[in-house]
Amino acid sequence: KEQMYAEIRGQPSLTRDGAPISIQLNCGMILDLPHLKASGAEGIGLYRTEIPFMVRSSYPDVHTQTDLYARIMDEAGDKPVVFRTLDVGGDKVLPYMAAGNEENPALGWRAVRIGLDHPSLLRQQLRSLLRAAAGRPLSVMFPMIAEVAEFDAARRLLELELKRLETQELEPPSRLRVGAMLEVPSLLWQLPSLLPRIDFLSVGSNDLTQYLFAADRGNPRTATRYDPLSPAMLCVLRRLVDACAHAKVPLSICGEMAGRPLDAMALIGVGFRTLSMSPPSVGPVKTMLRSLDVAALREYMAGLFNVGDHSVRDKLRSFAKDHG
């Protein structure tokens, strides 16, 4: 691990023409934490909290969850961690949770939908996160938000837990940031009301492409039917960058595309400056961006948003070749 990161860790995360790119990690296990220091990543842009829930035989209680989240924060030290609330259901079924058979699990009872229907579950998780963060900063992110009303409902549960903390005279977090994942396309049409409500937005491009193209992310037969580097997806991403810049809301992306060098290049070209990826991607992505001329890429990409191609991947690949 040390060797894997030794070369890139010390190099600044800047493009060739000087644009700073924040590289963050996607993690889901306490064992992933050493990568944070070793890779030189600036923080954890996505902590998937569901893994400890999936390996147990029953729902972990508040005490267990609090200990776990506190350990993660301890390990991360000064680097920020974005905790995503429970994202189970769909294909990630908990053995102790009666899910019932769903015809379309990806469109079914999953993620924040479960938490909103069973508020005690989500409240226990939020309570644990608040307790673990006593006196230190906390960032919480809700997955699969499909409309502003869902974000408001989730946020209300957090407010209830904050009140509870106060009643119990427990120390609150030193700073609380609340964000949403953008992975359900309906939310794209509510940005004017969403953005003033949130402290940050993170694109879950794995699910966003699945829902945008109506193509199962896990089905090999539909895998060639869509490409995140399609004109449609790039238009969506550009629109998000513009809307967030206008509203001054920090935007990041934590789907797998952020960790693939060519896709990451396109994301930077569209205007993303914060990319969250799995640890092995840090080296390849950082190497790519340090040789990237963003101004030239932006100019090149301006002609790619309205083409009729299935994908502009080949075009972006030849840009990358021509520009070292």
Cross-strand partners of 178: 140
**DSSP letters along 33-59, please?**
THHHHHH--SEEEEEETTHHHHSSSS-
Considering the complex, state which of residue 55 and residue 170 has its C-beta at the smaller distance from ligand PEP.
55
CB of 84 to Mg ion, least distance (A): 9
Q: What's the CA gap between 122 and 267, in Å, rounded? A: 32
Smallest gap, in angstroms, from Cβ of residue 36 to ligand PEP? 18
Element holding 256 (H helix, E strand) = none
Give the SS3 label for residue 83: strand
Site for Mg ion in 156-185 (CB under 5 A): 183
Q: Which residues bind ligand PEP (CB under 6 A)?
A: 46, 48, 87, 183, 204-207, 254-255
Distance CA 124, CA 49 (A): 13
205 binds, among ligand PEP, Mg ion, none (CB under 5 to 8 A by kind): ligand PEP
What residue 89 binds from Mg ion, ligand PEP, none (CB within 5 to 8 A, per partner kind)?
none
> Least distance to Mg ion from the beta carbon of 302, Å?
30
- When CB distances are held under 5 to 8 angstroms depending on the partner's kind, the choice from Mg ion, ligand PEP, none that residue 254 binds is ligand PEP
DSSP output for 302-318? TTTTT---S--HHHHHH
CB of 206 to Mg ion, least distance (A): 5
Tokens of 56: 């147990």
Q: In whole angstroms, what is the distance from residue 277 CA to residue 285 CA? A: 9
Query: Which residues are 43's β-sheet partners?
Result: 24
Amino acid at residue number 11: Q
Q: Smallest distance from the beta carbon of 143 to ligand PEP, in angstroms? A: 7
Return the one option of ligand PEP, Mg ion, none that residue 269 interacts with (CB less than 5 to 8 A, by type): none
Binds Mg ion (CB under 5 A): choice among 43, 90, 204, 269? 204
Could you tell me how many residues of this chain bind Mg ion (CB under 5 A)? Answer: 3
Quick check: 256 binds Mg ion (CB under 5 A)? Answer: no
Residues in contact with Mg ion by CB under 5 A are 183, 204, 207
